[in-house]
Structure 1
């Protein structure tokens, strides 16, 4: 084969792979981002308000629109600042929320698990915005914190693949479009 033919074959091969690469490319704005955190004392405890931007990609949104419930986990930890790795956290909780589409009523429903009582929304965007807002969540009693010590709040939000319907789980394990997480975000906490 001449060098010119090799170049043509290589060019044809590259051009034939471009559509496949474009399909597998990550989509813009997908992923979770913790935008704001506010902690305030109230009735002898610290209360958390947080805003999370939930950037679901097209694959996950399509599943939601076809009635697949999505479960998000808000993993919350309160630790002493500069704590040793083996030190226990003062708070280590996972708050679970779910969003689902109800085709018969044409509404989206958001609720905190294990409760079955939720809020209904007419649009998907409104439901996703509400899902990303934590409001007046009790965090820790003030008497558990030393006023002379510094603490930090760590938050991570992720889509729980284990809660997907069984037929979807293998695909969710293999495709990066289902692995949505904010990663850990740390905020200072002073009693």
Structure 2
């Protein structure tokens, strides 16, 4: 790579970072509305209801060819089990890729855990499918610790790892590009 090209790329990355640095924008609305764990045939499952709303920047990026990786992060742990530290029992994720296909004018949702792809005419319908996590297997009963209570936390977020480099730099400095809900806690029953 020539020195001029390297300086130009560095200047571009710095300019993109500075453009997103001073903007105080509200992050899109991502929240977990409800979640609960239940047992069926010695396996614990998670049902969660979320609300994911994309702001204009993320919608524009999606409509212009940038796919969005939406991830449910789930962590199962015993609070304060070892001194004051939590004992992590399991960490899992449910991953969806949301993309727009301009020729068919359809939004595609790829379940990256199962490989199933679904197509929707409207973005709200595609997000509505992602908003409902049902029957997600979390843990076999035999893996639960014998001593103490166990809880699970769940959140929904956009992962910027698949963004093109200029957007990844921008997302580093601007939370609006990487929305995430707060953790929602639910007990094992």
SS at match of 1:168: helix
For residues 44 and 189 of structure 1, the distance between their equivalents in structure 2, rounded to whole angstroms, comes to 12
For residues 138 and 76 of structure 2, the distance between their equivalents in structure 1, rounded to whole angstroms, comes to 9
Q: 4+ residue runs of structure 1 moved beyond 6 angstroms?
A: none
SS at match of 2:72: strand
Superposition pairs of residues 140-151 of structure 1, within 5 angstroms: 140-145=139-144, 149-151=148-150
Gaps of 5+ in 2: 1-21
Higher strand share: 2
1:99 aligns with 2:98: yes
Larger Rg: 1
Is the contact made by 1:99 and 1:131 (CA closer than 8 Å) also made in structure 2?
Answer: no
For the aligned residue pairs, the C-alpha RMSD in angstroms reads: 2.2
- 1:71-106 superposed Cα distances (whole Å, 9 cap, x missing partner): 012111111243335454111123221100111111
Compared CA separation, residues 45 and 115, structure 1 to 2 (3 A): closer
SS at match of 1:89: strand
SS at match of 1:77: strand
- 1:148-186 superposed Cα distances (whole Å, 9 cap, x missing partner): 732111112211111212232122222231130112222
Residue number in structure 1 paired with 2:73 = 75
The two structures have a TM-score, normalised by structure 2, of 0.78
SS at match of 2:92: strand
For residues 175 and 87 of structure 1, the distance between their equivalents in structure 2, rounded to whole angstroms, comes to 30
The two structures have a TM-score, normalised by structure 1, of 0.78
- 1:104-159 superposed Cα distances (whole Å, 9 cap, x missing partner): 11111112225543111110000011112111110111122257732111112211
For residues 108 and 83 of structure 1, the distance between their equivalents in structure 2, rounded to whole angstroms, comes to 44
Higher relative contact order (CA 8 A, sep 6+): 2
